[in-house]
Structures are given as structure tokens and as C-alpha cells.
Amino acid sequence: MGTVGYGVLWLLPVPTATKTGLIQKAVHYAFRLFLWFVETCKGMEFRFEGADLLEHPGAGLIIANHPTLLDVVVLISRLPQADCIVKRELWNHVFLGAIVRSAGYISNDDGPELTEAAMRRLEAGRKVIIFPEGTRSLPEGLRPFTKGFAHIAVRSHCLLWPVVMTCRPSALTKGMSVFAVPARRARLSAVVSSPVRAEDYYEGQDPVPVAVRKVAAALQRYFEEKAVYA
């Protein structure tokens, strides 16, 4: 039924940008409802600190670590507009693919295509969610950050919102069955920090490759200091 509903929105006689905006808002409310249902059924708890910081007008990258399957659900539940970078498997998924594409999400294919797509969204004044690890974290901690987000940040000079995700006790992590239930109810929390800029982490005279490395390393250190794993 959900897929049909999003399909109906896509058929509306309005510009494509308006359609994707409506579909993203529909996904936002669907995710809020889903999280409410999970909490009501005592499945997990969800906490979001600093959500008001994301209300800052204008474009930006929302940078988050990725400990669980539900991280993107939690983030989008607080963002009526968010262009999310998603796995290619979801892009081609038999049930979810149409929704992912019609919402205007970006495939995480490697190379300049992803960077250019994200840049276009930022130039249009939009917010983009990206998980620099590329996939869920390891149970023991963060994976090395890929540099794609840093390329985008350095080239666009946009704001960056770091969001630290923590799940205690561990649940829905990499390698853990979705049916594995921890001994006590898990709490997934997201803590948003004040926005920063890529320029805060490199010198103006630095060549782009150097600036990219410095930004990626600085954000990796930030998350290593803030994120809590088992």
C-alpha cells in the first residue's frame, strides 16, 4: 500500500522537485509513525538531542556514524526534507526501489557521479544525509571514513552537521540477526552538534587533495571521541 501511495504522489501534475519534496515528507511521517509503533510495543527507545540545530536554513551535509539498521530511519524522522545517499541494492530493490528513486535519493555508487549529484542538491539549498563509513559500523567501533563526503564538503563550502549515533545495548548491528533481542531494551540515540565548515579543518592554501584528507581525518577523530560502542 505504501508503494502505491508514493506512486500516486509521483503522478501528480507538478514539477519533479515538488514531487520529490512531497514524497520525502511522506517518508518522514511514515518513519515517525514506525518509530512510535516500535516504542509503543516496547521494542526500542529512541532519543534525539539537538534536533533544533538541523532547522538552520540552507544547504548542508548531515554526517553520521552508522551503528544500526535504524539510523537513517531516526534521522529522516526528524527531517521533512533530506536527500539521503543509499546503497545501490536499495536503489534496485523490487519493493523499495521505486520509493527510493521517486524520493530523489542518491545511489552510493563510487566515483564522481555521487559527488556531482550531492553537489547539485546542495546548490539547490537542500540537506543531504551521508554515512562516511559507507555501511554499518563494526561491533567494536567505527570503520575508516571514506573521503567522498570530504570531497563534497571541500568543494561546496557547505555547513556540516555531525550527528553521533549510539545504541546501548547493541542491537541491529553488523552481523547481528534482526531477531536477536538484547537482555534489556535497547536505546538508540542521536546527538546533533552545532554545524561546522570544512574550512575549519584545513588551511586556505592547501591543495584540494590535502584539504580532503584533513577534513576526513578530523571528522573521523571527532566521531571516535564521541561515539560509544560495545
pLDDT value, residue 110? 61
Closest CA to 27 of 48, 3, 43, 8: 3
Give the residue numbers spanning the domain of 194: 2-226
Average pLDDT, the chain: 88
**pLDDT recorded at residue 157:** 93
In total, how many domains does the chain have?
1
Q: Which residue has the higher pLDDT, 167 or 17?
A: 167
CATH number of the domain to which 16 belongs: 3.40.1130.10
Residue 230 contacts residue 140 (beta carbons within 8 Å): yes
Residue 166's pLDDT is 96
Query: In angstroms, rounded to a whole number, what is the distance separating the alpha carbons of residues 151 and 155?
Result: 6
Could you tell me the pTM of the whole model?
0.89
CA angle in degrees (0–180, nearest 5) for 111-112-114: 85
Could you report the per-residue pLDDT of 195-214, keeping only the tens digit for each? 999 999 999 999 999 999 99
Angstrom CA distances, 183 to 44, 146, 171, 178, stand at 12, 34, 10, 14
DSSP conformational letter for 78 = T
Name the amino acid, one letter, at 48.
F
Tens of pLDDT, residue by residue over 114-152, are 899 999 999 999 999 999 998 999 888 999 999 999 999
